[in-house]
Amino acid sequence: MPHVRANGIDIHYTVEGAGPPVVMLHGATSAAAEDWAAQRPLFRKAFRIYLVDARGHAGTRWDVRDGFDRDMLVEDLRAFADELGLDTFHVVGFSMGAMTTLTFATRYPERLRTAIISGIDIVREPRSSVARRLMDPQRIEREEPAWAAQLEKRHGPVQGEGAWKRLLPAIVSDVSNASILTFEELRRIRLPVLLVYGDRDVFVPVDHAVSIYRQLPDARLLIAPNSPHTVMVAQPALFNAAAAGFYRSTEEVAKQRAESRGRRKHTVPAGDGASEYEPRAVVVAEPRDNSDPFSQW
């Protein structure tokens, strides 16, 4: 499995398919290949997908005793894209990955073609209280031994035996202490966004999801009925249909955003004999025709 050295760590990722680049970010305690298992076969028909493990998770080695917070994850994403020559890209984020996506979009909106954001809030509660209760290692070992075994199997081989018992409290601390994104920051995200939430999400009440939707200049909102936090797992057909419709409807805008960024980055400043942007990696060519990449879905 490939790794790329970015932001001082070796980031593990899986790459599949061909076409416009999509970076897929997983939720806390999980791994990208697992969270997006039901989306991978579909997405790779139209995109080149990058399934990225966050630091301290699965294949991306990091000792959380050296720090773990949202800003690290945002800069990891930026550095990952830079190292692979992804000047602009689509991004899909769930929960912790959605917070990374949302924050990245407030800081580097010009780097994104579109964003799908699922299962994240911008206020502290109830997310902090739920995380503190659910991600207690002692409780998990006592009440959910099967999950404890799964966490060890997922993280232990690379992070070390028992590393998940340090990871979970670090995640809870970040959820409880990270600065809150403001409505003003959300309004700076001027790119196509699809928000996906479950109506039974214990982390994000529906009215909170609606509040986020109302602040984004170009957003669509899906509230999945009878669905928990993990909409893409619980209702993959609904999630995938919504994603396909979103990408069809925003295809031209996404192309324009990519082309506009490319023109800006390749403009030669006065008195400078070199382009401002020099790709650091060879990128697989995207489809050259204008056909709908989702016609086969």
Residue 282 has pLDDT above 50, yes or no: no
DSSP E strands in 153-283: the ranges are: 193-198, 219-224
pTM of structure: 0.90
**CATH classification code of 3-124+182-264:** 3.40.50.1820
Residue 292 has pLDDT above 60, yes or no: no
| Contact between residue 227 and residue 198 where contact means Cβ atoms under 8 Å apart | yes
Domain ranges of the chain: 3-124+182-264
Q: What is the pLDDT of residues 95-130, one digit of tens each?
A: 999 999 999 999 999 999 999 999 999 999 999 999
What pLDDT is stored for residue 269 in this prediction?
45
List own/partner pairs for 168-171 with CB under 8 A and 24 or more apart.
168/29, 168/135, 168/136, 168/137, 168/140, 169/135, 169/137, 170/56, 170/64, 170/68, 171/28, 171/29, 171/68, 171/96, 171/131, 171/135
Residue 197 has pLDDT above 60, yes or no: yes
- Give the CB-side neighbour count of residue 81, counting CA atoms within 13 A: 22
Residue 93 has pLDDT above 90, yes or no: yes
Residue 265 has pLDDT above 80, yes or no: no
- Local confidence band at 91 (pLDDT 50, 70, 90 cut-offs): very high
